[in-house]
């Protein structure tokens, strides 16, 4: 695919996201910026790197708002061990960043809250643009903007081809949330109802 610059609008959250994404040699790397207004106004910067097979190697995220800032360095080494280093400054009525990595020790993927980017990894790894599923996953889910990390059980299922891409159904196995996500031919989100839409 090579490198692409992509932007999404998040109408329900009152925010935006833009990212420079490189997909090559069965890996994905990206740097991005997101803004939002809920539960407090924030700006978030992230850097994502996967290993071969689109499994997470690292997600470095910083978030800040009026009078506060957070930093999360979430890593998964090639032996499959997760670590989460955090930093928090200022006064914000938010949960603490980080979390107990043992709760998602079997996860292959991180999932950055409200970001359409991290949905690409499981879809690309399992070829869900061409069919298949349901496939169940355990994710290291990063809540935004507090950057707390917890386990999230999810399911992805191919629904239909859409142009050169596909529609894949996302289901949370921990809640009743579902969405039919439209991906382009490179496996990047075009439309994620309730979360983000490509501009």
Tokens read off for 135 = 């496939």
Q: Which residues pair with 149 in a beta bridge?
A: 142
Do the bridges between strand 42-50 and strand 178-183 make them parallel or antiparallel, or are there none, so unpaired? unpaired
* pLDDT at position 116 over 90: yes
What pLDDT sits at residue 198?
97
How many Å apart are CA 103 and CA 149, to the nearest integer? 10
Tokens read off for 199 = 């501009």
**Residue range 30-72, pLDDT digits in tens:** 999 999 998 999 999 999 999 999 999 999 999 999 999 999 9
The percentage of residues in the chain with a pLDDT greater than 70, rounded to a whole number, is 99
């Amino acid at each position: 695919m090579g490198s692409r610059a992509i932007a999404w609008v998040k109408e329900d959250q009152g925010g935006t996201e833009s990212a420079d994404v490189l997909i090559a040699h069965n890996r994905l790397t990206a740097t991005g910026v997101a803004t939002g207004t809920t539960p407090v106004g924030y700006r978030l910067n992230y850097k994502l790197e996967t290993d071969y097979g689109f499994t997470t190697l690292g997600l470095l995220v910083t978030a800040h708002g009026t009078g506060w800032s957070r930093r999360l360095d979430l890593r998964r080494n090639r032996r499959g061990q997760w670590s989460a280093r955090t930093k928090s400054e200022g006064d914000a009525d938010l949960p603490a960043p980080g979390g107990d990595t043992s709760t998602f020790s079997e996860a292959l993927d991180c999932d950055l809250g409200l970001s359409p980017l991290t949905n690409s990894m499981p879809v690309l790894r399992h070829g869900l643009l061409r069919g298949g599923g349901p496939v169940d996953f355990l994710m290291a889910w990063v809540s935004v903007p507090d950057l707390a990390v917890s386990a999230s059980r999810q399911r992805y299922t191919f629904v239909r081809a859409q142009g050169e891409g596909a529609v894949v159904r996302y289901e949370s196995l921990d809640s009743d949330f579902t969405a039919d996500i439209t991906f382009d031919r490179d496996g990047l989100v075009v439309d994620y109802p309730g979360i983000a839409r490509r501009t």
